[in-house]
Amino acid sequence: MKDLKESMEIITLNEENIDNEHICCAISNKKCVEGYLKKKEWLKQQIKDGYVFKKFNVNHKVFIEYCPSEIGWIPITAPNYMVINCFWVAGQYAGRGYGKRLLEECIKDSEDKEGIVVLTSNKKKPYISDKKFFLKQGFEVCDTASPYFELLVYKNNPNAVNPIFNQCAKENIISNKSGLTVYYSNLCPFTEYYTNTVIKELAKREGIPLEIIKIDNREQVESLPSAFSIYSVFYNGKFITHEILSETKFNKIIENIKKGIY
């Protein structure tokens, strides 16, 4: 592996190179090919509007995605901020300064903004950026949403108004009080398969009513009942988790339902 001092190339995806560049997630998971391709299609549309996907030139998960808040996919109010949508540095690249270099790219591209916001959680959780990393880089908590989501901000303008979660994301409840409700989008390559194949089959097996709601536009994002627009699971109207449900995780939820925890 190249040393940091060799200044490994950072690639910015665009309409010309996206078909030939991998997008890091789910690249070796054959079950998620459909979701992988749909994420690319989603990216193509977003890139036209100013969305940014940057990655190191390696066949691994070392990338950052961000965009102006006006086209962001988090249910927040953050005028003239940059929003980090996804940020992942994994495996042998973690803890070696690659994440900091990617964040520096975002900071550089945000000089004309009030600052940068990112969704985190009060404790480290799967699929959510690590809060501790951002605190070390000068970010601060500016708002929270039930049950564990936190919004962090890095300000270029100290006098700028703090970004906040939309009220619907804070309330974390939905009108459907019967069975499972799953919200998902194509922001993540894993969601398509685990929502439309795995969860459908498992819910049918358990005889649990299931409603699936696909998030495919920003109007839906603005009114989301969860801070996490990639994937959210509710049971009888109450939020359970943002984690994409494998069969093992689904079975754990069923156990908790039977115990009356939910």
Q: What is the rounded distance in angstroms from the CA atom of residue 186 to the CA atom of residue 183?
A: 11
Question: Is the predicted pLDDT of residue 34 greater than 60, yes or no?
Answer: yes
DSSP secondary structure, 53-77, as one string:
EEEESSSSSEEEEEEEGGG-SSSEE
Q: What is the rounded distance in angstroms from the CA atom of residue 223 to the CA atom of residue 4?
A: 42
Q: How far is CA 58 from CA 32, 63, 85, 100, 105, in A?
A: 20, 10, 21, 17, 17
pLDDT tens-digit series, residues 97-138: 899 999 999 999 999 999 999 999 999 999 999 999 999 999
* Predicted pLDDT of residue 2: 45
Residues near 228 by beta carbon (within 8 Å), at least 6 away in sequence? 119, 127, 128, 149, 242
Residues near 70 by beta carbon (within 8 Å), at least 6 away in sequence? none
Half-sphere exposure of 6 (CA within 13 A, CB side): 8
pLDDT tens-digit series, residues 199-247: 999 999 999 999 999 999 999 999 999 999 999 999 999 999 999 999 9
Q: Which helix (H) or strand (E) holds 84?
A: strand 81-89
**Is residue 188 a contact partner of residue 40, using CB atoms and an 8 Å limit?**
no
pTM tops 0.85: yes
* Count of residues making up the chain: 262
For range 137-147, the mean pLDDT? 97
pLDDT tens-digit series, residues 51-62: 999 999 887 788
- 114: phi then psi, degrees, rounded to nearest 5: -65, -30
Residues near 184 by beta carbon (within 8 Å), at least 6 away in sequence? 191, 192, 195, 212, 213, 214, 215, 230, 231, 232
Q: Sign of torsion, CA 51 152 120 124?
A: positive
Q: What is the rounded distance in angstroms from the CA atom of residue 119 to the CA atom of residue 219?
A: 19
For range 177-185, the mean pLDDT? 96
Beta bridge partners of 132: none
**Pairing mode of beta strands 76-77, 115-121:** unpaired
